[in-house]
Structure 1
Amino acid sequence: MKKTSLLISILLCSSIFGQSDKSKILKEISDKIKQNYIDEKVFKSIDSLFQSENKSGNFNLLNEKDFAQNLTQKLRTVTKDKHFFVKYLENYTPEKKINIKENEKLNNFHNSLENFGFEKVERLAGNIGYINYKGFAEANSSEKVLESTMNFVANTNSLIIDLRENGGGDNEMLLLFCSYFFNKKTDLYTTYFRNSGKTVKNKTQSKVLGKKYLNKNIYFLTSGKTFSAGEALAYFLQEIKMATVIGEKTGGAANPVDPFFIQNKYMLLVPDGKITSTISGKNWDHIGVIPDVNVSVENALKTAYVLALKSIVNKKTKTDLSEIELKNLIIKLEQ
């Protein structure tokens, strides 16, 4: 019994001792955040967090994956910035050069399995277009699907874009999607990068592959899961009075991130830029996009559909339904 207990104790101690000391990792992460995070005022809170965790030694008791998840949550809590992210890279090998073309090909393949974020496109009764869009994949690989989508809804009288499960993604795809709603090249926002000190202007394109959707009612559906670029699409069209946002307040993550690799074990995402709207001089970071019509996630689609139909009735717009049929459909939806 004594030998068995001793052996178990040795194994337990070896296991704990074998786990890397997280203090060096925390120091490197702290330095990267201090050098790159866009909001320098918040760093004191981050520094206090790291000092407290170093002193407690609690992180040393966690495996690499749990450590990354725990640190991500603590960083987001302290900074109230949901773009912070730490990931354990189980099979990361820095010596192995990444084939950029092969990596893009692989990413495009995975994105294609989800139709580049376009979950569903249909025409609702009353000639209302509906797009369920879940994420912004890389623009060059997505533009053909976007073209087909926008061509499909081009003849509808109003358009509902469902962003309730949109987690964001590629900035170029965001600008390309926005371009379908502007008749000419338009300055939407600037992005300031703390590292370089440069400010980049972000503009829509004057020409797109598909048919533009101009001078018609647009409704965005949002939720607390709507994030980053998903928020941006709704935000910029809302503030220009080109769209109505319906649903719940969004996640509140506006600023772009850059990846940093820590001791060849972890990837750290740090928000190192700041987006500023050309129209308002503001953004939605920490705030979220505030809906024009605040309703539950479950009722957002029905609410938008009713508003679109009522607008058609009021304007006496011709659709596939008669005026009586439109009014009966509205009554049915509102019951």
Structure 2
Amino acid sequence: MTTVTQFQPGPVIDEIRRLLTEHYVFPGVAGQLAELLQERLAGGAYTGAEAEELARLVTADLQSVNGDRHLSLQYHADQVPPKKGAAVLESIRKDFETSLGGVPRVELLDAGVAVLELAPMLFPLKWAAEPLSAALTLASRAQALIVDLRGNRGGDPDTVAFICSHLLDERTHLNSMYWRDGERTEQSWSQPHVSGARFGGSKPLYILTSNHTFSAAEELAYDLQQLGRAAVVGEHTRGGAHPREGWTVHPHLETSIPIGRAINPISGTNWEGTGVQPDVPCAAADALERAHTLARADLAVRFSDSSARSSCS
């Protein structure tokens, strides 16, 4: 006769508390959260919960102190590998394969305005460099560019720098990351050279956002906005600026814990909790049409100015 072992939340909670204490970027908050989880466990809040329900309950508790949306306990229906970070990579590989490498749309609208949709994620650069380079090279010939991040839930900061490298003319300091491990700060810069052609740093650029835009997608919008390179059109974003790591704490559960925080070199802060505030606020559903209208108007002014200069020479 087969004996079914009842799921025990206690060992999962103990391991999450340990990981928080050792790795969370804000040690003081980590202590508060560790105490909260212990109190909730002792009070019976997790008693009888199976893995999927425990993930929901613990995520709500983890985000209850400072609202950090990168703090979570994630349930995976399929058993996940124990290696750190492997669960997320395994779960997003299908998304990569079914989204043309994270570039599901490249389209030319009228007046020479291109749309480049990046979704559902900014995938790890070792996967995404080839499709992104091809798409960005194709879009480089446009007179103006709209980058659609409305359906993007985040991803790899290195991929952010890669994309920015195609949208700027020279090597530029984009962002810095403070890492709790070693209490060190690491700078992120655009690349001095790219494969293929650059769209460059002078033609009109618009970024579309929604209240679903998150994490690394927010960084892409925020970096370019702070540099004065792009106008953000749409809704304010979700507000997650802390890079995270994932640890498997049960065959079907992975805890996500931020291990650093972003520091923009211009603003001296980031978008955590506040989201990226659009330069042109509008409903996400209207953002593409609004940006296209703005781009055409901008190009008309530029063409008029160019024609005037030519007639005077």
**What secondary structure does 1:160 align onto?**
strand
Q: Name the counterpart of 1:154.
A: 140
1:117 is aligned to 2:102:
yes
Q: State the SS of the aligned residue for 2:61.
A: helix
Which residue in the other structure is 2:163 paired with? Answer: 177
Relative distance call for 1:30 and 1:105 in structure 2 (3 A) is closer
* Contact 2:114-2:142 within 8 A present in 1 as well: yes
Cα distance, 1:275 vs. partner? 1.3
Equivalence for 1:207: 193
**Alignment pair present for 1:241 and 2:224:** no
For 1:30 and 1:317, the matched residues in 2 are separated by 62
Deviations 1:211-237 (A, max 9, x none): 111211110110111011100111001
Structure 1 match to 2:153:
167
Asked whether the 8 Å contact 1:190–1:278 carries over to 2, the reply is yes
- Summarize the alignment of residues 309-320 of structure 1 with structure 2, pairs less than 5 Å apart: 309-316=296-303
Distance change (3 Å), C-alpha of 1:296 and 1:109: closer
**How far off its partner does 1:159 sit?**
0.7
CA-CA distance at 1:19 after TM superposition: 2.8
Secondary structure of residue in 1 paired with 2:131: helix
Q: Is the 8 A contact 2:79 2:251 kept in 1?
A: no
User: Match for 1:58: what amino acid?
Assistant: A
Q: Structure 1 residues 168, 146: CA separation in 2 closer, same or farther (over 3 Å shift)?
A: same
What's the offset of the Cα at 1:258?
1.4
Q: Tell me the CA shift for residue 52 of structure 1.
A: 3.4
* TM-score under structure 2 length normalisation: 0.87
Query: What number of residue pairs does the alignment pair up?
Result: 298
Separation in 2, partners of 1:254, 1:93 = 26
Q: 1:188 to 1:74 in 2, by over 3 A?
A: same
Aligned equivalents of 2:154 and 2:92: distance in 1?
16
Higher RCO structure, 1 or 2 (CA under 8 Å, sep 6+) = 2
Structure 2: how far apart are the matches of 1:105 and 1:84?
A: 19
Aligned to 1:62: 49
The alignment partner of 1:137 has SS state of: coil
SS in 1 for 2:261: strand
Alignment partner of 1:180: what SS? helix
> How far apart are residue 110 of structure 1 and its match?
5.3
**CA displacement at 1:208 relative to structure 2:** 0.8
Displacement, 1:104? Answer: 8.0
Give 3-state SS (helix, strand or coil) of 1:227's partner. coil
Conserved? CA contact 1:162–1:222, under 8 Å: yes
Give yes or no for the alignment of 1:132 onto 2:120.
Answer: no
- 3-state SS in 2 of match to 1:60: coil
Q: Over alpha carbons, which structure has the higher Rg?
A: 1
**CA-CA distance at 1:51 after TM superposition:** 3.6
In the alignment, does 2:307 pair up with 1:298? no
Corresponding residue for residue 214 of structure 2: 227
Aligned to 1:129, the other structure's residue is in SS state strand
Report the CA distance shift for 1:28/1:191 in structure 2 as closer, same or farther (over 3 A).
same
* Structure with the bigger percentage of helix: 1
One-letter amino acid of the counterpart of residue 152, structure 2? N
- Match for residue 258 of structure 1? 245
Which residue of structure 2 lines up, in the alignment, with residue 191 of structure 1? 177
> Residue 145 of structure 1 is aligned with which of 131, 134, 137?
131
**Aligned mates of 2:95, 2:104 — CA distance in 1:** 14
Residue 107 of structure 1, CA deviation: 6.6
Deviations 1:245-273 (A, max 9, x none): 01111011111111223255532110011
Structure 2 unaligned regions, length at least 5: 306-313
**Superposed displacement of residue 280, structure 1:** 2.1
Partner of 2:69: 82
Name the residue aligned to 2:28.
Answer: 41
Q: 2:80 touches 2:248 (CA, 8 Å); kept in 1?
A: no
Kept in 1: contact 2:178–2:261 (CA 8 A): yes
**Aligned-residue CA RMSD (Å):** 2.6
Query: How far, CA to CA, are the matches of 1:190 and 1:84 in structure 2?
Result: 21
**Separation in 1, partners of 2:193, 2:104:** 25
Q: Determine which of 249, 253, 262 is the counterpart of 1:275.
A: 262
